[in-house]
Amino acid sequence: MSNDPVAGRVRPYLVWGLGLAIYLLAVFHRSSLAVAGLLARERFDINASQLATFVMLQLLVYAVMQVPVGLLVDRFGSRRVLLCGLVVLTCAQAGFAFADTYALALLARVFVGVGDALTFICVLRLVSSWFPLRQVPLMSQLTGTLGQLGAVIAAVPMTLALGAFGWTRTYLGAAAVGIVLLVALLAFVHDTPTQRSLRGPALSPRDTLAGLAEAWRHPGTRLGMWVHFMTPFSANALGTLWGYPFFVQGEGQDEKVAGLLLTLMVVAVMTAGPVLGWLVGTFPFHRSTMAMGIVSAMVVVWATVLAWPGEAPLALLVLLVVVVGVGGPASMIGFDVARTSNPLSRLASATGLVNQGGFYATLLLVVGIGLVLDWRTPEDAAAYTPEAFRWAMSLQFVLWGIGLVQVWRYRRFARAHLRAGEAAAAPTAA
299-354 per-position pLDDT tens digit: 999 999 999 999 999 999 999 999 999 998 899 899 888 878 877 667 777 888 89
Model confidence at 49, pLDDT cuts 50, 70, 90, reads: confident
Within 13 Å, how many C-alpha atoms sit on residue 211's CB side? 22
Confidence check: pLDDT of 427 > 70? no
The pLDDT value recorded for residue 4 is: 57
Within 13 Å, how many C-alpha atoms sit on residue 399's CB side? 29
Q: Are 128 and 136 in contact (CB under 8 A)?
A: yes
Confidence check: pLDDT of 11 > 70? yes
Confidence check: pLDDT of 422 > 80? no
Q: Average pLDDT for residues 105-119, to the nearest whole number? A: 91
Apex 412 CA angle, 407 and 415, nearest 5: 120
Rounded-to-integer distance, Cα 103 and Cα 94, Å: 15
Residues 245-284 as b/e (b if ≥16 CB within 10 A, e otherwise) read bbbbbbbebeeeebbbbbbbbbbbbbebbeebbeebeeeb
Q: Are 124 and 137 in contact (CB under 8 A)?
A: no
Confidence check: pLDDT of 423 > 50? no
What's the mean per-residue pLDDT of the chain? 86
Amino acid at 89: L
Amino acid at 372: V
List Cβ neighbours of 213 (8 Å cut-off, separation of 6 or more). Answer: none
| CA distances in angstroms from 153 to 62, 272, 339, 418, listed in the order given | 21, 19, 31, 43
List Cβ neighbours of 405 (8 Å cut-off, separation of 6 or more). Answer: none
Q: Are 291 and 330 in contact (CB under 8 A)?
A: yes
List Cβ neighbours of 281 (8 Å cut-off, separation of 6 or more). Answer: 137, 138
What are the helix (H) ranges across 200-286? 205-217, 219-230, 233-237, 243-245, 255-282
Burial environment of residue 7 by CB neighbours within 10 A (0 to 12, 13 to 18, 19 or more): exposed
List Cβ neighbours of 310 (8 Å cut-off, separation of 6 or more). Answer: none
The pLDDT value recorded for residue 116 is: 92
Confidence check: pLDDT of 292 > 80? yes
| Mean pLDDT lowest among 141-150, 203-212, 307-316, 368-377 | 203-212
Nearest Cα to Cα of residue 324 among 151, 159, 116: 151
Rounded-to-integer distance, Cα 66 and Cα 349, Å: 8
Q: Average pLDDT for residues 401-424, to the nearest whole number? A: 81
Rounded-to-integer distance, Cα 320 and Cα 299, Å: 10
List Cβ neighbours of 366 (8 Å cut-off, separation of 6 or more). Answer: 52, 55, 56, 59, 236, 237, 240, 241, 242
Model confidence at 1, pLDDT cuts 50, 70, 90, reads: very low
Q: Which residue has the higher pLDDT, 187 or 430?
A: 187
Q: Which helix (H) or strand (E) holds 62?
A: helix 48-64
Q: Average pLDDT for residues 195-224, to the nearest whole number? A: 80
Domains and CATH numbers, the chain: 1-201 (1.20.1250.20), 203-430 (1.20.1250.20)
Confidence check: pLDDT of 430 > 60? no
The pLDDT value recorded for residue 426 is: 47
Quick one: DSSP state of residue 134?
G
**Residues belonging to the chain:** 430
Rounded-to-integer distance, Cα 184 and Cα 368, Å: 40
Q: Average pLDDT for residues 367-381, to the nearest whole number? A: 84
- In this structure, the number of other CB atoms found within 10 A of the CB of residue 196 comes to 11
Rounded-to-integer distance, Cα 89 and Cα 55, Å: 15
The pLDDT value recorded for residue 150 is: 83
Q: Which residue has the higher pLDDT, 367 or 178?
A: 178
Rounded-to-integer distance, Cα 3 and Cα 300, Å: 56
Q: Average pLDDT for residues 113-130, to the nearest whole number? A: 89
Q: Average pLDDT for residues 376-390, to the nearest whole number? A: 82
Quick one: DSSP state of residue 201?
P
Q: For residue range 223-245, what is the model confidence (pLDDT) as tens digits?
A: 999 999 999 999 989 987 889 89
Rounded-to-integer distance, Cα 212 and Cα 10, Å: 36
Most confident range, picked from 30-39, 191-200, 211-220, 225-234: 225-234
Q: For residue range 65-101, what is the model confidence (pLDDT) as tens digits?
A: 888 888 888 788 889 999 999 999 999 999 999 998 8
The pLDDT value recorded for residue 273 is: 83
- Cα–chain center distance at 252: 28
Which percentage of the chain shows pLDDT scores above 90? 39
Q: Which residue has the higher pLDDT, 119 or 214?
A: 119
The pLDDT value recorded for residue 198 is: 75
DSSP 278-325: HHHHH-GGGHHHHHHHHHHHHHHHHHHHHHSSSSPPHHHHHHHHHHHH
The pLDDT value recorded for residue 251 is: 93
The pLDDT value recorded for residue 403 is: 96
Q: Average pLDDT for residues 128-143, to the nearest whole number? A: 81
The pLDDT value recorded for residue 165 is: 87
Model confidence at 192, pLDDT cuts 50, 70, 90, reads: confident
The shares of helix, strand and coil residues in the chain, as percent rounded to the nearest 5, are 80, 0, 20
